[in-house]
Chains A and B, each alone.
Chain A
Amino acid sequence: MADLWVSLPNGMQDLALFFALLAPALVTGLLTLRGFAPWGLLRGMLRRHFWVSITFIVLIATSVAIGTGLIAQERGLRRGTAQAADKFDLIVAAPGSEITAMLAAVYLQPSDIPLLDGETYQRIAEQEHVSLAAPIAFGDSWNASPVVGTTPQFVAHLSGTLAEGEVFTTVDEAVAGANVPLAIGDTFTPSHGHGDATDDGAHAGYHYIITGRMEPTGSPWDRAILVPVEGVWLIHGMPNGHDDGWSGDPGPPFDPAYFPGTPAILVRAEQLWANYALQSAFTTSETMAFFPGAVLARLHSLLGDVRDVMSMLAAITQVVVAAGVLTGLVILMRLLARRLALLRALGAPRRFVFALVWSFAATLLGTGTAIGLALGMAAATVISRIVSERTDILIRAQLGWPELHLVAAFFSITVLLALVPALLALRRAPVADLRST
């Protein structure tokens, strides 16, 4: 049996688990309602207690929305950040915080990071199996867009083919990220620094012209403007990284004697194993080499712990709300006692009265759960959009199996609990209820 389960594709396992979680509700419904047609009475009860029903449904929907929205949001955030770091195999930076270096080099968060010198860059670039060693020089900005100095090879690595235009071929050309509000042919003057620390006049007289636009990457690089690293060095009054005989074409090889420094270097090896060798080789007292994916995994693990705590709180909320709703139903059934007694007097089987009360509760629970699932996804989508706009990390909160499993389990547990008010309704004496007014 275990072998059969393992042999199933993931999608089949998820589907099977979904139906297994939903099965108690479905079986209970089939057994309870078998042979009866309580729909007219059920609709009547819902109409008669319209606002009470709506209140119950809203309570259930809210608790389900919190649970499902939380899970979907966390997964979307995890996938979005992982996707944004996907192109960054290995980062080499000066020793310090891996997280700070990752936030700066991968997510373009402003940060002061010591520079790596030309000899270090040279050693990395000359390593066997290294296919790409790109300096990533950040520190300038234009209109809140980071201006990042790098190489044409890095642009090709990040974007593949450009959405339009061409990669820069001179030091005063630039490639805009997908979301930068500059068109091909537009010129701009970068400012020194970011945000409140921007010095707008520091680079007066220097202009870049946009020659190309990258494809969307779903990362903060969609908001960045990529320029030749030589240009960044030049406008800061530093050597251009090449000797006097430089042709003017941006990119490697660089001359260590004229290499002013770079805060980070993206390294890509031809084979996966070579990345590990490079990480080992450049984890020294002078350099720090790390895999952004591994750093993210540690962060996600922490995020996962937080998610577990929040999921537990959401589950407790759901249980408390469900218990409150079921208690409310018990009280409501007392109000309906005379009608239920009437049904018994007219010859309705006890199982019918049981089925009617249960189906009333199950309808509220089912409707609340379905609306809660939709609400949770809508809320997660809105929050994802806001987070994406603020971070430029493309976060997609989509309906996934974990949410469906959660709602299936919630629905099954609560409709089983709904048997309690149905059973309590049967314990009442019909004649006493018929005589009550």
Chain B
Amino acid sequence: MKDERKIAGSLALRVAELRVSAPNGLLLLSVEALTVSPGETVVIKGPSGAGKSTLLYALAGLLPATGDICWGDTNIVHLNDRARTAFRRRHMGFVFQDHLLFEELSAEGNAALAAAYAPKAERVTLKTSANEHLTQLGLGGHATRGIASFSGGERQRVAVARALAGNPAIVLADEPTASLDRPAADRLIEDLVLLAEASGRTLIAVTHDTHFHARASRVLNVLDGVLQPEAPHG
């Protein structure tokens, strides 16, 4: 599977002294330092409630945080909500555990969802890209079908197409295989990893799935809200 499309730049991630707290002041997440090179596939593991998803949402700029979260030269902690939203739209794609698709839309409508709020000049490109990704994911003949008639695996592939439609440099996935059976999960892992690697995208996935762990270049561990130091290579 090759993806020759031009992605929206290569962005290295550098996190330093990241703290995420609940509104009542309770510390939810602490990351002293983390770096991810462009094009890496990184998996975050840890027990339920450890703070894996909190880390993922913080990296997306969806949670108020202190410290530094630098994607390339952009420290998103210092951006206002509007700028963070614009950054997500330009540079990030998301895949969620339970698809989070719009049931009443077609596969194409879901994959090209961003066309509804993207600048007018980008809408055609987005729709074309969404259709190309659907084809790459084996759903080319089903683009106009309603999502309600799709299987769980197909739905998650539509969600991947949606995440990649804007050709983002970063793909964030939150338990993307949790609701799938083994064959569907394996296919999704392959699709996600290959599509990310083929175009130099950074893929960061929160997952318990050991098959996914095996396909990652690095596996990070979060325990009790703290990102654990990585074991030395070799």
- In the complex, A345 Cα to B117 Cα: how many Å? 13
Distance from A72 Cβ to chain B, minimum over Cβ atoms (Å): 38
Closest to A43 in B: B104
A386 adjacent to chain B (CB < 8 Å): no
- In the complex, A347 Cα to B116 Cα: how many Å? 11
B17-48 vs A, Cβ < 8 Å mask (1 yes, 0 no) = 00000000000000000000000000000000
A123 adjacent to chain B (CB < 8 Å): no
CB contact between B60 and one of A36, A343, A345 (< 8 Å): that residue: A345
A428 adjacent to chain B (CB < 8 Å): no
Of B87-95, B214-222, B223-231, the one contacting chain A is B87-95
Residues of B contacting A430 with CB < 8 Å? 62
Distance from B178 Cβ to chain A, minimum over Cβ atoms (Å): 12
Closest to B92 in A: A347
Closest to A49 in B: B104
Whether the Cβ atoms of A48 and B103 lie closer than 8 Å is yes
Of B67-75, B78-86, B203-211, the one contacting chain A is B78-86
Q: Given A40-B105, A346-B88, do A352 and B117 touch, yes or no (CB 8 Å)?
A: yes
B77 adjacent to chain A (CB < 8 Å): no
Whether the Cβ atoms of A352 and B89 lie closer than 8 Å is no
Whether the Cβ atoms of B85 and A344 lie closer than 8 Å is yes
Whether the Cβ atoms of A347 and B123 lie closer than 8 Å is no
Q: How extensive is the interface on chain A, given as a class?
A: 20 to 34
Closest to B108 in A: A40
- In the complex, A35 Cα to B98 Cα: how many Å? 30
CB contact between B89 and one of A45, A48, A347 (< 8 Å): that residue: A347
Whether the Cβ atoms of B89 and A431 lie closer than 8 Å is no
In chain A between 235 and 259, which residues have their CB closer than 8 angstroms to a CB of chain B? Answer: none
B113-149 vs A, Cβ < 8 Å mask (1 yes, 0 no) = 1111101100100000000000000000000000000
Residues of B contacting A47 with CB < 8 Å? 104
- In the complex, A338 Cα to B85 Cα: how many Å? 17
A41 adjacent to chain B (CB < 8 Å): yes
A400 adjacent to chain B (CB < 8 Å): no
Whether the Cβ atoms of B81 and A350 lie closer than 8 Å is yes
- In the complex, A339 Cα to B162 Cα: how many Å? 14
- In the complex, A44 Cα to B148 Cα: how many Å? 12
Whether the Cβ atoms of B82 and A350 lie closer than 8 Å is yes
- In the complex, A322 Cα to B116 Cα: how many Å? 28
Interchain residue pairs with CB less than 8 A apart (25):
A35-B120, A36-B116, A41-B102, A41-B105, A41-B113, A43-B104, A44-B105, A45-B104, A342-B100, A344-B85, A346-B88, A346-B94, A346-B113, A347-B85, A347-B114, A347-B166, A348-B85, A348-B114, A348-B116, A349-B86, A349-B89, A350-B82, A430-B62, A431-B57, A431-B62
| Known A347-B86, A349-B85; further 14 A-B contacts with Cβ < 8 A | A35-B120, A41-B105, A44-B104, A48-B103, A344-B62, A345-B62, A345-B94, A346-B94, A348-B114, A348-B117, A352-B116, A434-B57, A434-B100, A437-B98
